[in-house]
Structure 1
Amino acid sequence: MNLKEILIVLLNKKYKTIYADPPWYFQSYSKKGEGRNATKHYGCMSLSDICNLPISTISDENCVLLMWVVDPVLEQAFRVIDSWGFVYKTVGFTWAKTNQKSLGFSTGLGYWTRSNPEMCLLSTKGNPKRISKSVKQLVVSSRREHSRKPDEMHTYIEQLLEGPYIELFARSTKEGWDSWGNEITKFNKEAGVGTQGGFINLSALD
């Protein structure tokens, strides 16, 4: 059973908020960069495989998609948004990464300028509404393990949007959320949570 079939069979539910952190694949152009490539940390997916996930089958007629993207594949992200049946609206969140070991902002790699912020794009389907006007776009939080996002993101999203909520490619579970992916409990201990919420652990289905 492939990813698409699993999603169709197991997710007999419609979500008003979909939060996704796709395992983007992009090529590194130096040996130094290769050591920090996502493929060293988890299995990546091709653009076509991400686009072909049947997200339209689990999205409510009025739904918001919040999707993380890394800068080199920004153009690909818009193709995914369209394939999933959404229309891009704005940058929902910008995560400015601080340094864990010293004061100031973290300095990443980059082929032109040295990177830091990471964007979470906001797209819509139908006519969803926000439930609060006070949620800020800028998130200033410490850099973490590769690809691990700030735990407080779930709280910000809950303040901004109504559920039901699902996190795609999740790496920890969250009470009140459904989670989907093959590493959904990887950071539960670090996040201080048990196995909470509904979840589908793909690794258990192999």
Structure 2
Amino acid sequence: MMNESSTTPLRPESQPHPLPKIVGGFQTVLADPPWRFSNRTGKVAPEHRRLDRYSTMSLDAIKALPVSSVTARNAHLYLWVPNALLTDGLDVLHAWGFRYVSNIVWAKRRKDGGPDGRGVGFYFRNVTELLLFGVKGSMRTLAPGRSQVNMIETRKREHSRKPDEQYDLIQACSPGPYLEMFARYPRKGWTVWGDESPEETTPRGRVHKGYEGGALLPELIANSHIGEETAEAMADELSRRYFGGSSVRELAEETGYSIQRVRSLLKKADVPMRPRGRQRISA
């Protein structure tokens, strides 16, 4: 008979906030779900009664998150999963609308470069963690990905925190817009969903301005890769706002894009430009 403590949450599981949406959908998602282990009272468990590192979610609750509805037709997923829960990770990847393609191994190192033997496990002492890579639709990695080895070698940090090196790797190999799920900190160029700041922690994250309303336009940063599908969706959204009466300058101020970028996207949507200085089209 299964022990009741292995199936009953240590605290009520709150309803997660809606996922943020962005024009054209996110093309790359990074997720580090709060996996629930069968033994949740042991010292290494996230829900250890005294340490209480963070709340967890059931496998069904993680699978039910509507990730497919906020991602582009062609998209990449990077999904962290503990070695013991590999099959659960594959289930989540498929439930979110992706197919498994490969993985990246995080090798945890000591200061001298050797394997960090402080890892835990019932059968072996784990010194690695897996970042599963899945694809939705059809989209190869960007050119740098073709020479990127599938390993990150860094020292461990605080409990469950993943290496910051992952962001440079992901941005070099996959196009934006980028969404990080279950994030703990804000990051420039990314839309984050989760506990965004240590000072304002809430069980399922602080409400992002995009959670409650319409889709956001992607943030554009230097050297960021925006896919053709996303660029077309951005152009369509800007043209809708332009025909609704907004000027090019107002669109630039509203989105943070340069005037040249706004004009380029409107041109992509074949929008006939209004003469400068003339009265705007009323909505």
TM-score w.r.t. structure 2 length?
A: 0.60
| Corresponding residue for residue 66 of structure 1 | 78
Alignment map for 1:118-129 (pairs within 5 Å): 118-129=129-140
Q: Which runs of 5+ in 2 are unaligned?
A: 1-13, 209-283
Q: Which has the larger radius of gyration?
A: 2
Q: Which residue of structure 1 lines up, in the alignment, with residue 151 of structure 2?
A: 138
Q: Which moved more, 1:17-26 or 1:70-79?
A: 70-79
Pairing partner for 1:151 from 153, 164, 172: 164
Aligned length in residues: 183
Q: CA RMSD in A?
A: 2.1
Structure 1 SS opposite 2:125: coil
Letter of the aligned partner of 1:60 in structure 2?
A: A
Counterpart CA distance in 2 for 1:70 and 1:118 is 6
Q: Deviations over 1:162-187 (max 9, x none)?
A: 11111000122211111101x22239
Runs of 4+ in 1 over 6 A off after TM superposition: none
- Equivalent positions of 1:193-204 (< 5 A) are 202-203=205-206
- TM-aligned CA deviation for residue 36 of structure 1: 1.4
- Paired residue secondary structure (1:38): coil
- The C-alpha deviation readout for 1:68-123, integer Å capped at 9, x for no partner, is 000111111111111111111111x11111135x6522121111111110000001
Kindly provide the CA deviation profile for residues 38-68 of structure 1, in whole angstroms up to 9, marking residues without a partner as x. 2231010000000000101111100011000
- Superposed CA offset, 1:109-141 (max 9, x none): 111111110000001110112112222211110
The alpha-carbon deviation at position 204 of structure 1 amounts to 5.1
Say if 2:14 is the partner of 1:11: no
Of the three residues 26, 29, 43, the one matched with 2:55 is 43
Q: TM-score, normalised by structure 1?
A: 0.82
2:189 pairs with 1:176: yes
Higher strand residue share: 1
Q: Secondary structure at the match of 2:100?
A: strand
Secondary structure of 2:183 counterpart: coil
Inter-partner Cα distance in structure 1 for 2:130 and 2:76: 16
Provide the rounded CA distance (Å) in 2 between the counterparts of 1:162 and 1:26.
33
Give the one of 93, 98, 109 matched to 1:98.
Answer: 109
The aligned residue for residue 34 of structure 2 is 23
Cα distance between partner residues in 1 of 2:198 and 2:170: 21
The letter for the 2-side match of 1:41 is R
